[in-house]
Amino acid sequence: MKKTIIAASGILLSLLLQTTAFHYLAIWGVKPDLLMIWIVLMGLLCGQPSGFAVGAVGGLLVDLLEGRFLGLSLSTGMLVGWLGGQIGKRAFREHWLVPVSAVGFCTLAGEAFYLFLGSSFGMAWPLWQAIYLVILPTAVYNMLLTLIIWPLARKLFFQEPEYVVWRRG
């Protein structure tokens, strides 16, 4: 129950920050995708089913907020949550480089999947401009923000063990 409340709060907080504060923190016209970061971290920390569910709910909320092509963000969120869960099963997630690279990889995969689905439904985007001007800078921006978000997310889900020192005598 605690994980569900934290996951839902993370979705709402990331959407709120993404549409308000980070809308004005664009660097070279690129805004971070906080929801994608949260989805990947949920997949890493809680496993595939949780990442998949958070991706589905978060993607559906983004689709409802944007109001165009319902299902693009939904399917992208589910893919990213599934990928985050796969990486979490196979990698040593306690090292800081794993979540940063996982967010970078999943952002590249998710944005490319969104570009593919959007272009197959008639959204005309120039491929190379989308890659160089949106996908790659968004991945770098997300990776930098993951350095800040990862320790906070990890503390929400895992309690550090207390070490007991035994003494002789």
- Span 93-138, pLDDT tens digits: 778 888 999 999 999 999 989 888 888 877 777 878 888 888 889 8
Find all residues with CB under 8 Å of 4, minimum gap 6, and list them: none
How big is the CA angle at 56 (ends 140 and 153), to the nearest 5 degrees? 50
Instruction: Give the Cα separation of 166 and 78 in Å (integer).
Output: 47
Q: Which residue has the higher pLDDT, 31 or 162?
A: 31
pTM for the full model?
A: 0.86
The count of residues in the chain is 169
Find all residues with CB under 8 Å of 63, minimum gap 6, and list them: 69, 70, 71, 72, 73, 74
158, containing H or E segment: none
pLDDT the model gives residue 160 = 60
Q: What is the mean pLDDT of the chain?
A: 85
* In contact, 31 and 23? CB cutoff 8 Å: yes
What pLDDT digit, counting tens, does each position of 61-78 carry?
A: 998 988 878 888 999 999
